[in-house]
Amino acid sequence: MIAALALAFVSLALISGVAYIAVLTGATGTAERLLVDQAARVVEAQVSVIRRRLDPVTDHLELVAALAATGRIDIESAVGVREALAVMMTRVPAVSSAGFVTLDLKLHRAVRHPGGMVTRDTVSLIDLPQGMERFRQLQTAHNTFWGALFWSEPLKQPVLNVRTPVRRIDDAFIGGLFATVAVGDLSYLIGDAMKGSDGRYFILVGHDKVLAHRRLVDPRGLGLSEDRPLPTIAEVDDPVLAKFWSPPVRNPRIDRVLGDLGRVVDAEGRRWLFVYRELRLYGPQPWLVGQYFPIEEATGDLDRLTNGAMVGAATLAVALLVALAMGFSMARSIRTITSAAESIERLEFDRPFHRRSRLREIDDAGQSLDKARGALKWFGAYVPHRLVFRLMELGEGAVASRRRNVTVMFTDIVGFTPQAEDLPEQETADMLNHHFALLGACIDQDQGVIDKYIGDCVMAVWGGLSKMEDHADHAIHAALEMARVIREDNRQRAAEGKTPVRLRVGLHSGPVVVGNIGAPGRVNYTVVGDTVNVAQRLEQLGKDFMRADEEVIVLVSGDAIAAMKHPEALGELPKPELRHIKGREEPEQVYRLV
């Protein structure tokens, strides 16, 4: 009943949430598409303005070239050529100058001055900077092309230029036409067409050269010259544009929507959205055509949608929290019982499980589990956890007696009895507990099981609970770790003015009987057999090997070395000694590893 009620509350809230998210997602997608469309329209409008201003220049220049090629304009008449150029300029306001170059290297031209007056003259091409180079480009060309930007001395500003060769029907070159568009005029024309942009338009050439900008309507004062015909973005008195190439502000929503069409930068204490497009039509270098806006202008619809979404989400969240609170307030107590059972399964008894509940039945069950935890905590202290987990995994079959090859370890503290006589009882217990904790960590880390404690001795087994092919490798590694840990602990004890602990360790590998040993009402899961006796006698044999100044000795039988899967891990082994061990007829090989 409780679970069904909680599920009903949560389900109702989730259904409402899914419906709201579906509506919100659709509205967000629409707003994002509108933002993309708006940005695309802004850039396309600017590109359209440029093309409406510059494409007619190309078209009229090609028209004049066609008339000249067919003889309808007398190219031998300087006056006629100049008048034809002047007429073209009246029809195309973007043209600031136009010229016709003849084969005798004469340039007939018409130039529009700042006041609007058009003058006509004829000059020698040789007298113009780079005039011959541009003429040779015309001689080898067969189509109209936009050339590299250059400085116009009469206009005192940089100009764009379009050139077309004039060829007769037999492809004979008879001259060349060109027209220029002043950068200031281009900036004025674009700015006039983009009045809604508040002068935030720009055209960049290359990386940071400014081709069109409100500051270039009248470029005087920028120090432009033939050597430096265009200013950089840092020189046009536009602090926002100057930040164009600074690291963009990451805005996941704008980045996802605009992609390569825009970027967001910080400037003048605000965030600005740049929208732009690359244009490759009017010269050897691509143009970057764009505008910028305060980001709030571009994202107003999205922000309003976001605010609405936040209000709706907050309302939904409150409803969901109420539903969850009602459901979980009833289910939490049940979960407490489940967690307690899971903790008992993991043999975790260190913290109480019970939490007070308003539901009396669950509260009673929690108190009962807490009492069971206290009883099981003592059980866990006396029975190895590995054995308990093995029983949980395999059942009673895990403790059935069987014969198995294992490695047995015995440790003993040298001279512990006289040392303990001089210590208070609690200090003796504390020292033993600390010592056993050090050894137990080494044993457990190498997958061993502590079989029992015998006074100050420890008996441990590898391969007893479950089959372990490399039981000898793990046991010997644990013994070496014990030697290292005891030495480190002795250094600490010496610093505290305490007597160091001296330890003997013996290991032997061989067959044993593993299983429950004892009376029906009180059994131990242990190992018995000659292998256990040999391991203990090896530990005792350490008395014959250990010198008075040594802290640790580890003696390993030849059978244990032979049982290793990777004896090379020990490096070069010391030469074994043959020793007679009580209970064995043949002498035993004994290796001293420490």
The DSSP code for 248 is P
Helices (H), ranges, 70-151: 78-91, 131-140
Three-class DSSP category at 122: strand
pLDDT of residue 263: 84
CA–CA separation, 504 and 64 (whole Å): 111
Q: Is the separation of the CB atoms in 532 and 507 below 8 Å?
A: no
What does the pLDDT profile of the chain (594 residues) look like in tens digits?
445 545 555 566 566 556 556 544 544 445 455 566 676 787 888 888 888 888 999 999 999 999 999 989 988 898 999 999 999 988 888 898 999 999 999 999 999 887 788 899 999 998 888 889 889 999 999 999 998 888 888 778 888 999 999 999 888 999 999 999 888 877 876 766 555 556 688 999 988 899 988 888 888 888 888 888 899 999 988 999 999 988 888 877 677 777 777 888 999 888 888 888 889 888 889 999 888 888 777 666 555 556 665 666 677 677 667 656 655 655 665 666 666 555 655 556 565 555 565 556 666 666 666 665 655 554 555 555 555 555 555 555 555 678 999 999 999 999 888 887 878 888 888 899 999 999 999 999 999 999 899 989 999 999 987 889 999 999 999 999 999 999 999 999 999 988 899 999 999 999 999 887 777 666 677 899 999 999 999 999 999 999 988 999 999 999 999 999 999 999 999 999 999 888 788 899 999 998
Q: Is the dihedral of CA 331, 333, 334, 335 positive or negative?
A: positive
CA–CA separation, 204 and 216 (whole Å): 12
CA–CA separation, 553 and 412 (whole Å): 10
pLDDT of residue 408: 96
Sheet holding 287-294, edge to edge: 209-212, 201-205, 287-294, 270-279, 262-267
Q: What is the CA radius of gyration of the chain?
A: 48
Tokens read off for 126? 């040789």
CA–CA separation, 97 and 148 (whole Å): 16
Cα distance from N-terminal residue to C-terminal residue, the chain: 67
Which domains, and CATH codes, for the chain?
194-302 (3.30.450), 303-381 (no CATH), 387-592 (3.30.70.1230)
Cα 156–Cα 157–Cα 161 angle in degrees, nearest 5? 120
Query: Does pTM top 0.95 for this prediction?
Result: no
β-pairing verdict for 503-519 and 552-557: parallel
pLDDT of residue 330: 58
Q: Is the separation of the CB atoms in 390 and 400 below 8 Å?
A: no
Please, is 97 exposed, middle or buried when counting C-beta atoms within 10 Å of its C-beta (0-12, 13-18, 19+)?
A: buried
pLDDT of residue 27: 45
pLDDT of residue 4: 53
Of 508, 512, 531, 474, nearest in space to 591 by CA = 508
Tokens read off for 10? 């949560």
pLDDT of residue 1: 45
